[in-house]
Structure 1
């Protein structure tokens, strides 16, 4: 029931972001409410032993130049990846398209499990330095992280809302992260940044045959 309540609150938070008077105001709401959830909610990914000293997450200032409304280009080769996680079993993802940003292209994935959901992970030049080394999520609609857009045409991809997966805070979680088609060479100063709370291991979101290949 704690996780159910967490999901409801996250969904309500993103609904508030989508209806905010401006993207920057929505971003400020997102930061404020996320810090409250992480500090106080029983389903927080911050381990219980660390919550007493938790003082908040670190974020970059909002940069309007990193918000895009783009079409999902469906002209991509079919690709399915089955991600083995420690908590959710095997999670299948199908590549359904690509968004073309001024900073580079990113693959868009569809969660192939019950209910489905859009998934857009990101790894950029800041990963492992100023941001979590395993990469971050921008959109994960099955968890309520949905920035909006015309459902038939466009998708809002606002890199200021990039956030760490749960495995960044607690090694008990195993999270699917960014495959090669979701990596940017550009170093982004946007979204949630690395802090003392992050640093746990993660599961690479790669086909099995690529997991042992050097980068």
Structure 2
């Protein structure tokens, strides 16, 4: 009986913390799914001429350093605002919280947002939007920054894996309207993770 209880405890402990540990298989899965989306004419944001020769997106090597368990602070009484985009479109967002974390000894903070219209759909009711830019933008990364999709955490911490950051569709095709990264989400370090800029 004692052995069984110990086994159950170990399983629960493993399951409870497994989502807060870096797993390169999760990064590979993300990359494969993104490549499949971009290779499919029905779902790809690529222009016709780029799609014809597309094989794979260019990714930074997966790096555990850019997997962080951040402190999450819910910000209440925030007023909805029109987020600027690459076109005249101005979707309504609300700042949902702040995340605090450390990379290479630098204490960093980002804001996370909720798309008001999108959150009314059952599928996206727990969806959070994390746009950011860093010192690689305009060089190895897309000049307009990158995005990460998150889910509302149940506690005061949230996993952010920059290895799963991706480019706005505008990085591939000018016909799209993409949110512009707010100035407060510009990081003064290099985040060498996720999708690199698109090379024509």
Q: TM-score range by the shorter chain?
A: 0.7 to 0.9
Q: Which runs of 5+ in 1 are unaligned?
A: 1-17, 140-145, 198-215
Distance 1:133 1:87, change over 3 A: closer
- Report the structure number with the largest CA radius of gyration: 2
Measured after TM superposition, the shift of residue 48 of structure 1 is: 2.1
RMSD (CA atoms): 2.6
User: Which residue of structure 2 lines up, in the alignment, with residue 207 of structure 1?
Assistant: none
Runs of 4 or more, structure 1, over 2 Å off, are 74-81, 83-90, 114-117, 148-154
Q: How many residues align?
A: 172
User: Which residue of structure 2 lines up, in the alignment, with residue 57 of structure 1?
Assistant: 57
TM-score, normalization by structure 1 = 0.70
Q: Deviations over 1:185-206 (max 9, x none)?
A: 1012111001315xxxxxxxxx
User: Which residue of structure 2 lines up, in the alignment, with residue 128 of structure 1?
Assistant: 138
Distance 1:36 1:75, change over 3 A: closer
Distance 1:96 1:65 in 2: 25
User: Is 2:83–2:180's contact at 8 Å kept on the other side of the alignment?
Assistant: no
> Greater CA deviation, 176-185 or 77-86?
77-86
Q: Does 1:112 align with 2:130?
A: no
User: Which residue of structure 2 lines up, in the alignment, with residue 12 of structure 1?
Assistant: none
Alignment equivalent of 1:174, drawn from 149, 155, 177: 177
TM-score, normalization by structure 2 = 0.75
Distance 1:138 1:84, change over 3 A: closer
Q: Deviations over 1:143-197 (max 9, x none)?
A: xxx4x68423332111111110111100000100210121101012111001315
Measured after TM superposition, the shift of residue 75 of structure 1 is: 4.8
